[in-house]
Structures are given as structure tokens and as C-alpha cells.
Amino acid sequence: MTSNRIIPIAQADVPLERDLFLRTLLRELAGTLQDVVGLEDASGFISVVGQRVGERINEDYKAALNVSTLSREQVAQVLVDLKRRIQGSFFVIEEDDHKIVFGNQHCPFGDKVLDRPALCMMTSNVFGLIAAENLGYARVDLEKTIAQGHGECRVVVFLQERPGGSGHSSGREYFKAG
């Protein structure tokens, strides 16, 4: 039913604000990349962005904490904190000298991540870069993701290389620069 009452445009009930707009923009960008170049190449492009974002976040945390290198415990805390700040709900399930296992029940991209697994490369690269730059090495395995239809995420950050090299395990490897 249409009313003849004129509603000022600024008061129109349109579900649009900056956060929703940016998440929708990223969803559509990832979807377009996945459709045009395929999931693997789309993940590669998003990985480059994730690396740059990870570099900046790593430097910001080290500066804020007044340290030149984060310890393993600080890396785990930083990864949980950065996700909290962008409205994710990551938490540490398990942590030792070999790996840090994270759980998550709310993606910072919200429902915009569904069917957009390329967006998970942001998590992989930010986590991998921060861990590798501070601890020397990381391999990030996205075991379960909300993007792939799981109800939660399970991300394992391995902190030591496996004997025999990288061809023996899943996940993406990250190494300290220089």
C-alpha cells in the first residue's frame, strides 16, 4: 500500500550505514573476483591486501606495547584483541610452543562472508604475518570457516616447520621478512 505522505529522503528507512556498506562492498568485490578469476586467484589478491594490513597492525601493536618483538603469548593475545576490535569473537582454544588454536563464533564480516571463502585470506594473512614476524615462522590452517558454511571457525597457527618441508601439511606458510 502506497501512501501519499512524502517522506524526507534523510528519514527514509533504508538499512544503510558505513559498516554495512563496507562489508557489502568487500563481499561483492570478493564475489566478483571469485567469479572472474576463480577462488584460488581471488584468494591470492586478498592475501596481498591481508599482508599489508597485517604489517600495519603488527607495527601498531608493537608500538602501543613499546616492544620490538611480541612473545608467543602476546601474539595470541594480539590476534584475539584485533579480531575483538573489529567485532569478531576469536578466542584461544589451545596454545603451546608448537601451535595456537583459535575458535570463533562471529565473523567480523558478519553474514557477508557466507560463500566468500576468499575473504578468509584476510585472517590467514594477518595471523600468519604477525606470528611469523614476531616468532620467525607460521603456517595457518583454516580448518573450519563460517564462510564455508560451518557455524564457527577453527584456525590453527603452527609455529614450527614440520620436518620435510612444507609439502606435507595443509595451510599457508609465512616467514619472517629479511
Domain at 45, CATH number: 3.30.1380.20
- Could you give the CA distance from residue 61 to residue 38 in angstroms, rounded to a whole number? 34
Q: What is the pLDDT along the chain (178 residues), one digit of tens a residue?
A: 566 789 999 888 888 899 999 999 999 999 999 999 999 999 999 999 999 999 999 999 999 999 999 999 999 999 999 999 999 999 999 999 999 999 999 999 999 999 999 999 999 999 999 999 999 999 999 999 999 999 999 999 999 998 765 554 689 999 998 7
Q: What is the pTM of this model?
A: 0.88
6 falls within a domain: no
Question: What cell was used for 129?
Answer: 604475518
5 falls within a domain: no
Residues 6+ apart with CB under 8 A from 165: none
Range of the domain at 30: 17-175
51 falls within a domain: yes
Kindly state the DSSP code that residue 138 receives in the 8-state scheme: E
List, as one string, the DSSP characters of 67-135: -SS--HHHHHHHHHHHHHHTT--EEEEEE-SSEEEEEESS-TTGGGGTT-GGGHHHHHHHHHHHHHHHH
